[in-house]
């Protein structure tokens, strides 16, 4: 059975732990071949192996092929022969508790379809049959991928990487955290592609094998399997010349699984250039450095499953089908939420919970919040073990404090929070980069660090086990551990971080000097509640904060009016007192040189800010909902590193001004409902929000904010925009909706992408809409008469995506004609760019459509009662029949729709209309199929007929996939609106039109537009 890699226990080295090796071999196999003979049951090893094999069948879908050698399946099923009776009589003396379990497993094995030796004349024929069956089953493993959710696309993605530069020798990396599915993906790619290579090798668990066998022994094994015969290699750093010559003539496919050492690749394989042209080496690893150091040609990162994929995988493993079981629906979603898209966790949970009834699920999941599944813990801890002691310390700080409290921390903050005294923050940055490479943490585009929940639970277990051995905790988060420390007064200097929930420990006597003993305390999070009892209030007021190392303090619902004088601030990096009773932080000017963020949001009693002039590194000041704050201390605007100031909902502010140009890039004054005067200027301002204020005009020098990208004036009292408004050359988004006093909008900036003027009820005209604008909303602009849109030729140069004039019933005829022509051009252009190949159903590619349908559409809406004439098929009835049988076959096809939407009272809860498009066979109602399409409408009521012209990628893909087998389609359109939203007697049927569009149809349209323009210029 060449190229089928088999495990035989006589290959085990002397002194090796046999059972551990057997378990690893069974778990790493795709197929287990069980040879049942008369003496099989006499070996307790065989029975233990059999039990493990069935466990792998249940957990991983491993294939079992029983072979009944000189006995019948009934002998195994009923264990009725003398040999079986004697075997179990012997086992009963030593393994009494397991005998019945082994009998059940034998019965289960006998029920499987297998091979009986009695059907063959000779053993040679039997062996041949076994070989054929194994080969057939192995071949099928890559064909039947139903249980491997989402793997088809991943295999295709990796294949694309493998097929690049076909003559080169290429190294492909599969990278991701433990349990994410790297090995199973590599296996399936290997199985699918190996027939195209002269030499093949799949080396499972290289990390463990190299540790157990040593590199030289493993190297011999690698080349023995590649070359098909035993080889001897005497030198660890080179290969014999004859091996180099032989592999140089071979095109090989090699998979090295779970490599954690950058040097192992060359130590095992030698220079990759030794292999023949077209060779491919695939490496799975958790450590990006392995791939970087070996200059991988391509890296394929594996990510967590989406919610839908995770549910499908769990249901397949638990229910043996992908559909939700309704009675378990909420519990299944809780499981999926716990697993956070990690296949290993989902599989282990399915296996665990399969043996539990529904009532036991909750308690099992509660346990797992504290103690992880053993298999998950062991697999994930491998990455932690690869870190050095300093890196492990930082990892545990991240996992325990920042992770479990779901706190978002910027990398820049972490450099200050985690560095040692006298150490550069760059050393922390290097550690963070290493942890990113090892898939232990991830960072967002904004440089915020996050960690997967499973890794956080693993970290908790590491600390729990370590504290059990040492008798002292370095981090406290569990209520029982906190009680134990307090009860026995065991609080020590070793504690680096603590999370404490005051309401939950109110029955426990908490001494006011508890924190005073924690001299090494760096990170403190206290959770409170809005209404403190008297005892808790007294306790909070008397707490002693003498921890000079404190760098992070977060106290939700802090009951204090100000922070204690004993509170050490010198090393503080972040101060978060959300929903507190604080009236002022402290008196006087404090040394706050390390402070980067203050967050007092929801502190409704806050009346004043202190002098922050010595907080020279402060970057973020969040004061959302501080409703009694009447002013901002002038020192704030002199802070040269302050980037973000959030004053949302500070309703007592009336003036915000600064005589100097500050460093702010983000300023939020939304819902400062009494703010009348505003004159803060910043050359770095990118995001300014003045919505729902009483500000009537912007400063005359407003154009100096040349970096501004977003201006939000929604619901404000603004009456006019500066005449030099178009000088804001970086402005991308302008929000002036609900500005009822705004009558005109000046010339728009050249790069503006979004203009929202909804409910500007005094607005009479819109200026020329620049070609840069992608989204234009003028819903409920009831006074709007004139819109200046681009000419047809100009519009051919750009694409607009969303243009909506709902309830703009005063628009003049010229404006409506211009809007309709722009609609035709934009929809045709977008359609031509997103045509679908007929017969390929690509609807599954839009699994995020419900949340992100706008990204798959071009939509124009304007007042009108007639479907545009240019659409090929139109109807006032309930349906249209389109016939594509007479035309040539189209390599790519799309479908443009137009609907006339009448009066409605409401949309759905997400502010959109649902259009249902149903197709069936020609005139019949049989074989119906349908797809939904969403049209956004944020208003309260549609007051008259409107024309909607739309190209929707998902809908078009759905229809295109039906064309090959149904060239005549009956299309029916209905509105998915509840009855209460419709006027009495309203017909749900929709007047609509549809146009199939192909590349040739689009090119013909473009020629017509150019010809029309030439004629108009001539006249």
Q: Highest mean pLDDT: which of 244-258, 873-887, 902-916?
A: 244-258
Across-strand partners of 201?
A: 254
- pLDDT tier at 1018, thresholds 50, 70, 90: very low
Using pLDDT thresholds of 50, 70 and 90, give the confidence band for residue 573.
Answer: very high
| Cα 220-224-227 angle, rounded to 5 deg | 135
Lowest mean pLDDT among 75-84, 133-142, 429-438, 847-856: 133-142
3-state secondary structure of 300: strand
Q: Please, are residues 101 and 148 in contact by the beta-carbon 8 Å criterion?
A: no
SS3 annotation, 669-697: CCCCCCCCEEECCECCCCEEECCCCCCCC
Find the range with the poorest average confidence among 164-173, 348-357, 383-392, 703-712.
348-357
H or E stretch including 443?
Answer: strand 442-443
Of 982 and 455, the structure prediction assigns the larger pLDDT to 455
pLDDT of 2 over the 50 cut: no
Residue 425 has pLDDT above 60, yes or no: yes
Could you count the other beta carbons within 10 Å of the beta carbon of residue 62? 18
Q: Which pair of structure tokens corresponds to residue 535?
A: 């005892």
When mean pLDDT is compared across 355-359, 902-906, 935-939, the lowest value belongs to 902-906
Write the DSSP assignment of 538-585 as a string of letters.
Answer: HHHHH-----TT--EEEEET---SS--TT---TT--EEE-TT---S-S
Q: Which tokens in the block code for residue 436?
A: 């990113």
The most confident of the ranges 172-176, 411-415, 913-917 is: 172-176
| Interval 666-720: pLDDT, tens | 999 999 999 999 999 899 999 999 999 999 999 888 888 999 999 999 999 999 9
> Do 627 and 605 meet the contact criterion of CB atoms below 8 Å apart?
no
The pLDDT tens digits for 281-306 are: 999 999 999 999 999 999 999 999 88
Do residues 798 and 830 make contact, with C-beta atoms less than 8 angstroms apart?
Answer: no
Q: What are the b/e assignments for 686-717, b being 16+ CB within 10 Å?
A: bbbbbbbbbbeebbeebbbbebbbbbbbbbbb
Would you say residue 83 has pLDDT above 50?
Answer: yes
In sequence order, the β-bridge partners of residue 915 are: 933, 975
Name beta bridge partners: 66.
34
Which residues, at least 6 apart from 450, have a Cβ–Cβ distance to it below 8 Å? 403, 408, 441, 442, 443, 444
pLDDT (tens digit per residue) in 295-351:
999 999 999 988 888 888 887 777 765 554 666 777 788 888 888 888 888 888 888
Q: Is 787:811 a contact under the CB 8 Å cutoff?
A: yes
Closest residue by Cα to residue 224 from 206, 205, 246: 246
Per the prediction, the chain carries an average pLDDT of: 84
> Which has more confidence, 748 or 92?
748
At which residue do the structure tokens 């379809």 appear?
113
Identify the band that residue 15 occupies on the pLDDT scale cut at 50, 70 and 90: very low
Please report, rounded to a whole number, the percentage of residues in the chain having pLDDT higher than 70: 85
Res 596 pLDDT > 90 = yes
Q: Confidence class of residue 438 from pLDDT cuts 50, 70 and 90?
A: very high
Residue 603 has pLDDT above 90, yes or no: yes
Residues with Cβ within 8 Å of 623's Cβ and at least 6 positions away in sequence, in order, are: 600, 601, 603, 606, 609, 629, 645, 646, 647, 650
H/E element, 625 = none
pTM score, whole prediction: 0.78
Closest C-alpha among 959, 961, 935, 708 to residue 841: 961
Dihedral through CA 415, CA 421, CA 427, CA 431, nearest 10? Answer: -70
Look at residue 322 in the predicted model and tell me its pLDDT.
52
6 versus 879: which is more confidently predicted? Answer: 879
Instruction: Kindly state the average pLDDT of the residues 406-412.
Output: 76
| Measured distance CA(602)–CA(581) in Å, rounded | 9
Residue 8 has pLDDT above 70, yes or no: no
- How would you classify residue 514: left for phi > 0, otherwise alpha for psi between -120 and 50, otherwise beta? alpha
The yes-or-no verdict on residue 216 having pLDDT over 80 is yes
Beta partners for residue 644, in sequence order: 620, 666
603-639 CB burial, b ≥16 within 10 A, e <16: beebeebbebeebebbbbbbbbbbbebeebeebbbeb
> DSSP character for 892?
S
Long-range contacts of 364-372 (CB under 8 A, 24+ apart): 365/334, 365/335, 365/338, 368/338, 368/457, 369/338, 369/457, 370/457, 370/460, 370/478, 371/457, 371/461, 371/464, 372/454, 372/457, 372/458, 372/461
Could you tell me if 724 and 703 are in contact, meaning their C-beta atoms sit under 8 angstroms apart? yes
At 1019 the pLDDT is 40
């Amino acid at each position: 059975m060449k190229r089928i890699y088999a495990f035989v226990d006589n290959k085990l080295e002397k002194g090796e732990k046999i059972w551990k090796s057997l378990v690893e071999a069974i778990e790493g196999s795709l197929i287990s071949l069980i040879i049942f003979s008369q003496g099989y049951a006499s070996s307790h090893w065989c029975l233990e192996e059999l039990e493990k094999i069935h466990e792998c069948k249940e957990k991983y879908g491993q294939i079992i092929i029983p072979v009944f050698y000189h006995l019948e399946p009934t002998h195994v099923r009923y264990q009725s022969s003398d040999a079986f009776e004697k075997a179990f009589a012997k086992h009963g003396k030593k393994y009494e508790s397991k005998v019945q379990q082994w009998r059940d497993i034998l019965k289960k094995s006998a029920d499987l379809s297998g091979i009986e030796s009695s059907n063959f004349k000779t053993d040679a024929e039997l062996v041949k049959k076994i070989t054929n069956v194994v080969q057939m089953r192995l071949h099928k493993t890559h064909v039947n991928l139903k249980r491997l959710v989402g793997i088809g696309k991943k295999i295709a993605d990796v294949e694309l990487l493998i097929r690049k530069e076909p003559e080169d020798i290429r190294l492909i990396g599969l990278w991701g955290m433990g349990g994410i599915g790297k090995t199973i993906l590599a296996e399936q790619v290997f199985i699918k592609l190996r027939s195209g290579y002269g030499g093949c090798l799949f080396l499972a668990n290289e990390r463990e094998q190299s540790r157990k066998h040593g590199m030289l022994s493993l190297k011999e094994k690698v080349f023995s399997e590649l070359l098909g015969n035993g080889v001897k290699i005497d030198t660890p750093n080179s290969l014999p010349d004859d091996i180099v010559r032989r592999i140089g003539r071979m095109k090989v496919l090699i998979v090295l699984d779970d490599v954690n050492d950058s040097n192992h690749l060359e130590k095992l394989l030698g220079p990759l250039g030794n292999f023949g042209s077209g060779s491919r080496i695939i490496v799975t690893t958790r450590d990006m450095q392995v791939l970087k150091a070996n200059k991988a040609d391509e890296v394929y990162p594996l990510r967590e499953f989406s919610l839908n994929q995770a549910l499908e995988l769990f249901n397949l493993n638990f229910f043996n089908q992908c559909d939700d079981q309704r009675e378990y629906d909420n519990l299944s979603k809780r499981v999926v939420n716990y697993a956070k898209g990690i296949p290993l966790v989902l599989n282990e949970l399915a296996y665990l919970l399969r043996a539990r009834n529904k009532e036991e699920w909750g308690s099992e999941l509660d346990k797992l919040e504290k103690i992880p599944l053993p298999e998950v813990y062991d697999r994930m801890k491998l990455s932690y073990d690869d870190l050095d002691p300093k890196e492990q310390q930082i990892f545990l700080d991240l996992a325990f404090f920042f992770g479990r409290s779901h706190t978002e921390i910027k990398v820049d903050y972490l450099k200050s929070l985690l560095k040692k005294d006298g150490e550069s923050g760059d050393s922390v940055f290097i550690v963070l980069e290493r942890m990113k490479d090892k898939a232990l943490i991830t960072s967002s585009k904004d440089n915020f660090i996050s960690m997967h929940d499973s890794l956080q639970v693993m970290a908790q277990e590491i600390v729990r086990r370590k504290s059990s051995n040492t008798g002292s905790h370095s981090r406290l988060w569990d209520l029982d551990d906190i009680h134990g420390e307090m009860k026995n007064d065991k609080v020590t200097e070793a504690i680096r971080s603590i999370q404490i929930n005051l309401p939950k420990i109110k029955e426990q006597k908490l001494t006011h000097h508890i924190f005073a003993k924690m001299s090494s305390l760096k990170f403190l999070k206290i959770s409170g509640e809005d209404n403190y009892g008297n005892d808790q209030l007294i306790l909070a007021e008397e707490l002693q904060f003498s921890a000079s190392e404190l760098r992070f303090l977060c106290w939700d619902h802090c009951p204090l009016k100000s922070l204690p004088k004993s509170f050490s601030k010198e090393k503080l990096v972040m101060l978060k007192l959300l929903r507190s009773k604080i009236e002022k932080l402290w008196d006087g000017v404090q040394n706050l040189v390390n402070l980067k963020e203050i967050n007092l949001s929801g502190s409704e009693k806050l009346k004043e800010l202190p002098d922050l002039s010595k907080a020279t590194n402060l970057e973020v000041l969040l004061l959302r909902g501080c409703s009694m704050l009447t002013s901002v201390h002038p020192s704030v605007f002199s802070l040269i590193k302050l980037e973000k100031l959030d004053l949302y909902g500070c309703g007592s502010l009336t003036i915000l001004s600064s005589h100097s140009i500050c460093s702010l890039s983000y300023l939020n004054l939304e819902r400062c409902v009494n703010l009348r005067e505003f004159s803060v200027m910043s050359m770095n301002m990118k995001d300014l929000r003045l919505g729902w204020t009483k500000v009537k005009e912007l400063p005359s020098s407003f154009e100096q904010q040349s970096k501004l990208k977003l201006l939000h004036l929604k619901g404000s009292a603004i009456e006019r925009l500066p005449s030099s408004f178009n000088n804001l050359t970086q402005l991308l988004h302008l929000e002036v909706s609900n500005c009822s006093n705004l009558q005109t909008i000046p010339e728009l900036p050249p790069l503006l992408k979004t203009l929202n003027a909804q409910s500007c009820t005094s607005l009479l005209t819109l200026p020329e809409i620049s070609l840069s604008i992608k989204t234009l909303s003028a819903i409920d602009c009831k006074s709007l008469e004139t819109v200046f849109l681009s000419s047809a030729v100009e519009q051919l140069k750009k694409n607009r995506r969303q243009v909506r004039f709902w309830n703009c019933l005063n628009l003049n005829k010229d404006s409506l004609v211009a809007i309709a022509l722009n609609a035709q051009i934009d929809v045709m252009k977008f359609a031509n760019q997103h045509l679908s190949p007929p017969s390929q159903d690509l609807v599954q590619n839009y699994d995020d459509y419900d949340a992100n349908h706008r990204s798959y559409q071009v939509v124009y809406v304007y007042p009108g009662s007639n479907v545009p004439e240019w659409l090929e098929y139109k109807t006032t009835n309930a349906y249209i029949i389109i016939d594509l049988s007479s035309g040539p076959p189209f390599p790519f096809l799309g479908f443009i729709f137009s609907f006339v939407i009448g009066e409605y009272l409401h949309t759905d809860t997400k502010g959109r209309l649902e259009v249902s498009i149903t197709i069936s066979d020609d005139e019949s109602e049989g074989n119906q199929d349908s797809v939904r399409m969403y049209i956004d409408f944020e208003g309260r009521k549609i007051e008259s007929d409107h024309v909607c012209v739309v190209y929707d990628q998902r809908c078009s893909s759905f229809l295109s996939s039906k064309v090959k087998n149904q060239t005549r389609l009956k299309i029916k359109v209905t509105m998915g609106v509840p009855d209460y939203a419709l006027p009495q007697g309203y017909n749900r049927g929709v007047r609509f039109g549809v146009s199939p569009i192909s590349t040739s149809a689009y090119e013909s349209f473009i020629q017509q537009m150019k010809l029309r323009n030439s004629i108009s210029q001539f006249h």
